């Protein structure tokens, strides 16, 4: 399978969001990754539904919403109406993660379960038959431009082996600190979707930066 790059807008220049979306798309991103924060699940804030509505009107590639919030249920229907294609929420906050995944999928969206670096990968095993994808956080969520946590590779390999052993179709997404030096290890470990933020948006040449992921 070809690697998909989900470009994180968190490191874009928010004062020029439309141009940043167009430039990232033109440079070859496959999806736009939207980091939705609430200042509670993570200490930081990014953007909420009104800004995403504007993003959705400009975007020409699929939207990949990553809910770093305490109450993911609140966001599901509004984001579905905005045409989001992928949506993940965190297992650490979802008391009824199985039911939430069913809800997301029932709206025709690819539903994913996300886990923090300190959460065991085995905790999502009961969801692997249902989920469309697993998002492995390879930094602690809340900020762009952090250093990749190596242990994430072990979690990705575990999921890849589990998927092969059971013949399951879920995708594996990695998020945080992805760059041109670790992408080879990540794809070898089993990654299908790489979230990339600072490596592209803090570079002087988005197209050149994204070339590193055209494997
Ligand atoms: C962190 C976010 C990430 C982040 C990735 O809370 O979930 O999506 O923006 O950005 P980089 O690639 O800069 O680590
Ligand atoms: Zn993210």
Question: Is 117 touching ligand 1 by the criterion CB < 6 Å?
Answer: no
Write down the pLDDT at residue 16: 98
**Spacing, Cα 200 to ligand 1 middle (Å):** 11
SS3 18: helix
DSSP string, 142-202: T-SSPPP-TTHHHHHHHHHHHHHHHT---EEEEESS--TTTHHHHHHHT-SEEEE-HHHHT
Averaged pLDDT, 203-214: 96
Residue range 103-118, pLDDT digits in tens: 999 999 999 999 999 9
Residue 7 half-sphere exposure toward CB, CA atoms < 13 A = 30
Report the catalytic residues.
35, 175
Q: CA-to-CA distance for 4 and 133, rounded, in angstroms?
A: 13
The mean pLDDT of the chain is 97
pTM higher than the cut 0.85: yes
Rounded mean pLDDT of 43-55?
Answer: 98
Contacts of 87 (CB under 8 A, 6+ apart): 64, 65, 67, 75, 76, 79, 80, 104, 109, 110, 111, 112
What is the token pair recorded at 96? 């009824």
Within a 13 Å sphere around the CA of 104, how many CA atoms are in the beta-carbon half?
A: 31
Indicate whether residue 112 lines ligand 1 (CB < 6 A). Answer: no
Query: Which of these, 182, 127, 161, 202, lies nearest to 3 by C-alpha position?
Result: 182
Candidate from 143, 196, 210 with most ligand 1 atoms within 8 A of CB, to mutate: 143
CA of 33 to the centre of ligand 2 (A): 7
Tell how far the Cα of 199 is from the centroid of ligand 1, in angstroms. Answer: 10
Q: For the packed helices 73-81 and 49-58, what is the interaxial angle rounded to 10 degrees?
A: 30
Q: From the centroid of its chain, how far is CA 82?
A: 17
Q: Which ligand is nearest to the CA of 180?
A: 1
């Amino acid at each position: 399978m070809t690697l998909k790059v989900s470009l994180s807008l968190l490191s874009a220049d928010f004062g020029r969001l439309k141009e940043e979306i167009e430039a990232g798309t033109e440079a070859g991103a496959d999806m736009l990754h939207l980091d939705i924060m609430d200042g509670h699940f993570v200490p930081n804030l990014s953007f909420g539904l009104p800004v995403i509505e504007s993003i959705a009107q400009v975007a020409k590639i699929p939207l990949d919403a990553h809910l770093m919030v305490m109450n993911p249920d609140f966001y599901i229907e509004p984001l579905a109406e905005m045409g989001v294609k992928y949506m993940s929420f965190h297992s650490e906050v979802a008391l009824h993660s199985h039911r939430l995944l069913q809800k997301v999928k029932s709206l025709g969206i690819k539903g994913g379960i996300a886990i923090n670096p300190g959460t065991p990968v085995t905790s999502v095993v009961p969801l692997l038959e249902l989920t469309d994808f697993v998002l492995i956080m390879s930094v602690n969520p809340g900020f762009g431009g952090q250093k990749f946590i190596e242990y994430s590779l072990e979690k990705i390999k575990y999921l890849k082996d589990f998927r092969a052993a059971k013949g399951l179709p879920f995708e594996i997404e990695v998020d945080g600190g992805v760059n041109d030096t670790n992408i080879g290890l990540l794809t070898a470990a089993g990654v299908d979707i790489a979230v990339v933020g600072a490596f592209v948006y803090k570079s002087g040449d988005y197209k050149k930066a994204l070339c590193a992921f055209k494997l």
